């Protein structure tokens, strides 16, 4: 069972504090209470708290001032502001000041539990990401690679060891699993980091072009070659050459590559002069290489030359424990890029993300979150912008009038019905009278 979370409730009314304590404890939370904001701040300095519920209207320091102080001292601690019935301006003010969310009186406990769950999760996640990133950074300095998965962390360990050597590596994995990311991590963590990282996509080019791209040519080597040109091998001298999608190259190119890998020397097209180079080779493929070898499409000797250090990236569906972390990391990234402040991925949507198979792997997830962020309105991710999911429609929200009628029914028969209703709503009786008139309740 996960460790219990602690909620701090700040409200000047003792009766409310007691009701909240009972309700929250029934949900398994630990509860701390404070009757004034200063006491709340003191508690925060002493205890580990996971989320705060604070009443807007309090004598002395009010909820907003309290929120500001909390933000200064504990920037990741989510604060939920409780505002009086019908006072949307206060809620807006609180959100602008960085409240995690707000609740309006009368409290809907289901809504409160849901918000608290999200708030606590969010705080855990931020801390978790920070911790993991710190751990990964300290250990491998691979800050761009986000993962929490055992297989991936083992892989990073190998990557870290390989980075220190000049060994050739073959990175395998489905499309979008992060092959290029790993290739770059190896380069930038090697002694070659200051030298160039040169990439060539082997499938994007027809054979003849691939050859001049890799080896360069001299003037007059073929029609149109009107000056000398360096190839990628020369450009990468001292650094790393990343042969992306190596699986599809022709037999002819396979033979030529094999020679270069063996001798670390070659000639430019149209030249007899042998050029010596010092290049570290990293290759990648999403093909089934064993099958390609069996069927005679890929030379076994070249495969062995490349596959000195085999690195395999599992598809995202086989490391679903990364989805939560990646999705939230991408959310932060695209919030920043697109100037949004979406706080959470709604639980229904997260469930759908976790269930989906992700044929396009991390890239597909990244694109999917970006699209959701760009199309979001009111800083909320909308399920309908996530095409592949069917999410239940949200229940209709109660109107102010519904709430008034419901509460009056609840307290009907009490001698002081309206005073009780006003109290539960956090407004005074004259305001309640005005609202009743507005909605024609008599
Ligand atoms: N573990 C990860 N953490 C953060 N971002 C990731 C991770 N894995 C992949 N990505 C991101 O997903 C996208 C795809 O990654 P990358 O280009 O490295 O994949 P690939 O395996 O080379 O894909 P392809 O086979 O289609 O070329 C990139 O934007 C990359 O930054
Ligand atoms: Mg790639």
The predicted-structure confidence for 185-227, as pLDDT tens digits, reads as follows 999 989 998 899 999 999 878 888 899 999 999 999 888 889 9
* Ligand 1 atom closest to Cα of residue 175: 25
Convert the pLDDT of each residue in 110-127 to its tens digit. Answer: 999 999 998 998 888 777
Q: Is 188:231 a contact under the CB 8 Å cutoff?
A: no
Q: Which CATH number fits domain 6-132: 3.40.50.1860, 3.20.20.70, 3.40.50.2300, 2.60.40.10?
A: 3.40.50.2300
At the top level of CATH, which class does the domain 317-385 belong to?
mainly alpha
* Ligand 1 atom closest to Cα of residue 145: 3
397 versus 55: the higher-pLDDT residue is 55
Rounded mean pLDDT, 410-424? 88
What's the pLDDT score for residue 185? 93
Mutating to test ligand 1, I would choose from 174, 179, 181 the residue with most ligand atoms within 8 A of its C-beta, which is 181
Ligand 1 centre to CA of 133 (Å) is: 17
Q: How far apart are the C-alpha atoms of 192 and 109, rounded to whole Å?
A: 58
Ligand 2 centre to CA of 178 (Å) is: 7
Q: In which element (H, E) is residue 54 found?
A: strand 51-55
What is the radius of gyration, based on Cα positions, of the chain?
Answer: 31
Residue spans of the domains in the chain: they are 6-132, 169-314, 317-385, 400-438
What's the pLDDT score for residue 1? 38
Tell me the CA distances in angstroms from 352 to 147, 317, 320, 347, 381, one per residue in order.
20, 13, 12, 9, 13
Ligand 2 centre to CA of 175 (Å) is: 7
Q: How far apart are the C-alpha atoms of 307 and 172, rounded to whole Å?
A: 10
What's the pLDDT score for residue 124? 83
Cβ neighbours around 147 below 10 Å, total:
20
Whose CA is closest to atom 30 on ligand 1? 178
* Confidence (pTM): 0.65
Whose CA is closest to atom 23 on ligand 1? 176
Rounded mean pLDDT, 260-273? 94
Same fold, 6-132 and 169-314: yes
Q: Is 72:45 a contact under the CB 8 Å cutoff?
A: no
* Predicted confidence (pLDDT) at residue 49 exceeds the cutoff of 90: yes
Ligand 1 centre to CA of 182 (Å) is: 8
CATH code for the domain defined by 169-314: 3.40.50.300
390 versus 283: the higher-pLDDT residue is 283
Ligand 1 pocket, CB under 6 A? 145-147, 173, 175-181, 286, 362-363, 366
Convert the pLDDT of each residue in 332-361 to its tens digit. Answer: 999 999 999 998 888 888 888 988 999 999
Ligand 2 centre to CA of 348 (Å) is: 31
Averaged pLDDT score across all residues of the chain: 90
């Amino acid at each position: 069972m996960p460790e219990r979370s602690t909620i701090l409730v700040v409200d000047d009314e003792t009766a409310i504090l007691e009701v909240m304590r009972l309700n929250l404890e029934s949900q398994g939370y630990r509860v701390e209470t404070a009757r004034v904001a200063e006491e709340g701040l003191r508690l925060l300095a002493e205890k580990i708290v996971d989320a705060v519920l604070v009443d807007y209207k309090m004598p002395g320091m009010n909820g907003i001032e309290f929120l500001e102080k909390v933000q200064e001292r504990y920037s990741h601690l989510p604060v939920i502001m409780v505002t009086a019935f019908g006072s949307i301006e206060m809620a807006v003010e609180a959100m602008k000041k960085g409240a995690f969310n707000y609740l309006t009186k009368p409290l809907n406990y289901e809504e409160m539990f849901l918000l608290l769950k999200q708030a606590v999760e969010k705080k855990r996640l931020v801390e978790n990401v920070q911790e993991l990133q710190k751990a990964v950074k300290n250990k491998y300095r691979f800050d761009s690679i986000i993962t929490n998965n055992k297989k991936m962390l083992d892989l990073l360990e190998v990557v870290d060891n390989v980075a220190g050597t000049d060994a050739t590596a073959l990175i395998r994995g489905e499309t979008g699993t992060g092959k290029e990311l790993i290739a770059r991590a190896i380069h930038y963590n090697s002694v070659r980091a200051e030298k160039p990282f040169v990439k060539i996509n082997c499938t994007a080019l027809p054979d003849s072009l691939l050859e001049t791209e890799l080896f360069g040519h001299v003037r007059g080597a073929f029609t149109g070659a009107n000056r000398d040109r360096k190839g990628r091998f020369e450009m990468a001298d001292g650094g790393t050459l990343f042969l992306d999608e190596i699986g599809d190259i022709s037999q002819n190119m396979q033979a030529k590559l094999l020679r270069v890998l063996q001798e670390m020397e070659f000639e430019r097209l149209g030249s007899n002069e042998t050029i010596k180079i010092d290049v570290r080779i990293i290759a990648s493929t999403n093909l089934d290489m064993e099958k390609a070898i069996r069927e005679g499409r890929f030379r076994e000797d070249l495969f062995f030359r490349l596959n000195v250090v085999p690195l395999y990236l599992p598809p995202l569906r086989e490391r679903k424990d990364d989805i939560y972390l990646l999705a939230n990391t991408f959310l932060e990234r695209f919030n920043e890029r697109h100037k949004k402040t979406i706080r959470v991925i709604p639980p229904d949507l997260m469930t759908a993300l976790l269930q989906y198979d992700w044929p396009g792997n991390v890239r597909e997830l990244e694109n999917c979150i970006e699209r959701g962020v760009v199309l979001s309105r009111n800083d909320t991710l909308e399920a309908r912008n996530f095409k592949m999911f069917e999410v239940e429609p949200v229940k209709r929200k109660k109107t102010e009038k519904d709430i008034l009628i419901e509460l009056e029914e609840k307290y009907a028969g009490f001698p002081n019905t309206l005073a009780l209703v006003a109290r539960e709503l956090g407004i005074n009786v004259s305001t309640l009278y005005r609202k009743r008139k507005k909605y024609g309740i008599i």
